[in-house]
Chains A and B, each alone.
Chain A
Amino acid sequence: MPRLDSPAALETLRQRLIAARAFWPVRLILSSGTCGQASGSLAVLAALRQRLDRPDLRDSVHVRVTGCQGFCDQEPLLIVDPLDVAYCRVKPQDIEEIVSQTLLEGRVVERLLYVDPRSGARVRREADIPFFAKQDRALISKNRWVDPCNVGDYIAAGGYSALAAVLSWFAPQRVIEEIRASGLRGRGGAGYPTGKKWEQCRNAPGEHRYVICNADEGDPGAYMDRGLLEGNPHLILEGMLIGAYAVGSEQGFVYVRNEYPLAVQNVRVAIEQAREMGLLGRNILGTNFSFDVKVARGGGAFVCGESTALMASLEGKVGEPRVKDVHTVERGYLDQPSLLNNVETWANVPDIIRRGPAWFAARGTETSKGSKIFALTGQVKNTGLVEVRMGTTLREIIFDIGGGPRDGKGIKAVQTGGPSGGCLPVSLFDLPVDFEALAEAGSMMGSGGMVVVDESVCMVDFAKYFLKFLQDESCGKCVPCRVGIGRMHEILTDFCEGRGTMAQLAVLEELAWTVQNASLCALGKTAPNPVLSTLRYFRDEYLAHVEERHCPAGVCKALIRYEIDDALCVRCGECIAVCPHGAIQEGETYVIDNAVCQKCGICEDACAPEAIRRTRGLVHA
């Protein structure tokens, strides 16, 4: 790729790339992000390349390998472009049929199409798949058009035109005004007005300014940022460039969590390519503006998603937050003004510049503009990355897009906002998803994690899970978080093991207040949310555990036992064969010896007539 010495040179290159792409008669698009690869996309790619390595196909079929396209449940997804056919869950052995039938004869391979579970009909086009129909995929749809390791794709799709416009015609202050007018709020969870943050950074006194992309995405169950960074790293770089220009920064960082090796790799490649072309480095596009970006890999610490901890980590120290009476936008990395924004926030910037703030503000609600990507996971049929306008209801997301419950059991709640958020019951599913509505109900939208929970989940155990997570991830500096969360976990463990008392319930609530109000950083302050929200909406489950020593969902091992229903048992012996503990006795009837049973559940899974079930355990008060 040539070095571009002016915005005009970029335009010329863009037209050339678009023209070149128009000559490819057939385009195959294969989704191959982390989950695509985990589902075998690399083997599919290898089979594809091998099959296409023939004189008649080599030059007429172009294969574009993209990042995650969002419908993770159906990956690897293979789209045949001119025919607009989307094949799901493709395997290497399907390639022969796809090439010979679809590519060479123009016929669709019916069995590989998506089946709409409600109508039973097969769906041919990606856009018609119900999962995509209700979404507003402003950001995630871009992944379809780019191979993350090919900057040409990004430019051909309009990339870096916003940067060129900014450098050609916008004064830095105007850029800030556009972002303010759009109403964009931080996508990392706190929802701070982005334009206001940029303004504060620009005005803060300091010799150097830094622009940082928070790609730490520690919330378990959230991977929106991975999807964006892996699949379209140039989008984030362009956003950062525009931000750097607006606040007057010359150095930026992308802090990526350690558990995303593909994202780290793709961002590094993108940075190299951008540098080669003069889109990063000194005198970008021949102007006075200079900016460069370094990638920093996290060491594996959830707390490093917090701004002060992230910057401490960038400084080569442990990720311990500091008291935030003075915000990082004034005193951040190396005590200098630092502009820290989330991956998705940066990703929204180029379109706001290109399409104008009014376009962005026209979507969403009064206080929450634009679209938001959610990672819809858990006990829902269609798991994946879902992008919707702010204000879409939980019901629409979980049922219309998500397809409803996965395993046929009733949906009980949805957990949003990761460990900082809370659980909302089905009765609240008509709430619109935005920054304010969910927070008022006792949860928060957070960075986008949305875990659907069905009847098989015990809410007390679920709250305990979050406390354990936070206990592990706490930096350990302050008393309320290090000790308080531990004591809350201790109490919930007592509940789940049949030792709970009502007095402890009162102590739990008092502790929750203390940890929420007295902790040093947001990790501690939001830690009680899962407990508080489950106490608010699922108090009956807590009372069952404490007063009756009963786990309604049948999860807490100390409160359940496994039992074989003799009427349904067909004496196949499968359970005895698979039981790792030798707990099932064969006789006239099959009986589980409770003294030996470890409640691993393997027998329950293996029993075809479903004769094994969980009942109340024999716990003495």
Chain B
Amino acid sequence: MDLSQLEGIVQGRGSDPFDIMEVLQDIQAAYHYLPEEVLCRVSETMGVPLIEVFRLANFYKAFTLKPRGQHLITVCMGTACHVRNSPRFLDEVRRRLKVEPGGTTQDGEFTLETVNCLGACALAPVVIMDGKYYEHMTPAKLGSLLGAVRVQEGRPLAHA
């Protein structure tokens, strides 16, 4: 576990009560999840009891304690997306990739997450794949969404 990034993240922080949240968010961004070892080190360095760090890591949806897959698919399940059938789209993703929200596919390729509203309701149903927004998604468009990832990487389609 490479802890070198941690020093830069923690440095200079600790005087403001909110700093612990900033630190965790930066760790999530740097490591793509919150590794146990890193959190133990944060607890020691910043003097925040380990149970408190653990609580924060489990309470907020922005944090994951398990490593994420190569690609992150986030399906918006907000009200506007719901009335435009986002659950149907989510069901198709679950069936096709054989993964549940919060989980990662067996081959470590995709992590599926849901979010309760991104605030882009005019584009409902909205899906974010690797930080890029896709609008008006339907089950029929899932194939091309997954294919877009493969095309970028020049690899054959596995999840057809």
Contact = CB atoms under 8 A, between A and B. Distances in A.
Given A465-B82, A578-B140, A600-B139, A38 B123 contact: yes
A148 to B, nearest CB: 16
Interface string B15-54: 0111111101100000000000000000000001000100
Given A35-B123, A38-B126, A378-B79, A299 B116 contact: no
Contacts of B120: 34-35, 38, 72, 223
B139 A318 contact: no
A259 B115 contact: yes
A606 B21 CA distance: 47
Nearest to B138: A605
B140 A606 contact: yes
B79 A301 contact: no
Nearest to B121: A377
Contacts of A301: 59-61
A418 B55 CA distance: 27
Contacts of A75: 122
Contact of B83 (A296, A378, A606): A378
Band of interface residues on B: 35 or more
Contacts of A606: 140
Given A299-B25, A578-B140, A221 B79 contact: yes
Contacts of B140: 578, 602, 605-606
Interface string B99-132: 0000000000000000111111111101000000
Interface stretch (B4-12, B87-95, B144-152): B87-95
Contacts of A377: 79-80, 121-122, 124
Band of interface residues on A: 35 or more
Contact of A221 (B20, B117, B135): B117
A205 interface: no
B119 A318 contact: no
Contacts, number: 167
Nearest to A415: B79
Contacts of A35: 119-120, 122-123
B83 A299 contact: no
Interface string A240-261: 0000000000000000001110
B95 A318 contact: no
Contacts of A87: none
A237 to B, nearest CB: 19
Nearest to B62: A300
A315 B117 contact: no
A375 B118 contact: no
A472 B79 contact: no
Contacts of A452: 83
Contacts of B22: 296-297
Interface in B55-82: 55-56, 59-63, 77-82
B116 A294 contact: no
A314 interface: yes
A582 interface: no
A431 interface: no
Given A259-B118, A580-B92, A316 B62 contact: no
B91 A600 contact: yes
A316 B48 contact: yes
A206 interface: no
Contacts of B139: 580, 600-602, 605
Nearest to A578: B140
Interface in A363-404: 375, 377-379, 383-384
A34 B91 CA distance: 26
Contacts of B63: 299-300
Contacts of A598: 91, 95
B21 A299 contact: yes
B17 A315 contact: yes
Contacts of B19: 316
A233 interface: no
Interface stretch (A1-9, A212-220, A283-291, A589-597): A212-220
Best-buried of A34, A258, A315, A605 by chain B (most CB within 10 Å): A258
Nearest to B131: A261
B117 A220 contact: yes
Contact of B88 (A219, A315, A378, A601): A601
Interface of A: 34-35, 37-39, 72-73, 75, 217-223, 226, 258-260, 294, 296-302, 313-319, 334, 375, 377-379, 383-384, 415, 418, 449, 451-453, 457, 462, 465-466, 469, 472-473, 475, 578, 580, 598, 600-602, 605-606
Given A316-B21, A383-B124, 16 more contacts: A72-B121, A217-B119, A220-B77, A220-B81, A220-B82, A221-B117, A222-B119, A258-B60, A297-B25, A316-B56, A318-B60, A383-B121, A383-B122, A462-B83, A469-B116, A602-B92
24 contacts: A37-B133, A39-B123, A219-B117, A220-B81, A221-B80, A223-B117, A226-B119, A258-B61, A258-B62, A260-B119, A316-B48, A317-B56, A318-B55, A318-B59, A377-B79, A383-B122, A384-B122, A418-B79, A449-B79, A451-B83, A452-B83, A453-B83, A601-B88, A601-B139
